[in-house]
Amino acid sequence: MLKHFKYTKENGDESMRVVYPLRIVDDKLLSIDMSGMTDVERAEAIVVLDAIHKQYVKAVADAGFSSQYRYFFMEQMS
């Protein structure tokens, strides 16, 4: 689930990033930045974040919303 990419700031500075994506907000990717972590730290963080995600999905289902999940294409919204 990790996303690896080269990021270029407005001033032209570039960096390689490793992130745990959470959601897309408008045209931005909201994520947990793991770029500065070691492989071991990253692996441990993924275990924790995956567990949090499973708890979230279960809570949504327990609240009765599991059939309301929808994907909407950004380019089809006005």
CA 59/CA 53 separation, integer angstroms: 10
**How many domains are contained in the chain?**
1
The encoded tokens of residue 25 equal 């907000």
Contact 18, 25 (CB under 8 A): no
Is 37 a domain residue?
yes
**pLDDT class for 22, splitting at 50, 70, 90?**
very high
- Statement: residue 6 has pLDDT above 90: yes
For residue 37, the enclosing domain spans: 3-65
Is 30 a domain residue?
yes
Q: What is the dihedral of CA 8, 13, 16, 18, to 10 degrees?
A: -70
Q: What integer pLDDT is reported at residue 61 of this predicted model?
A: 94
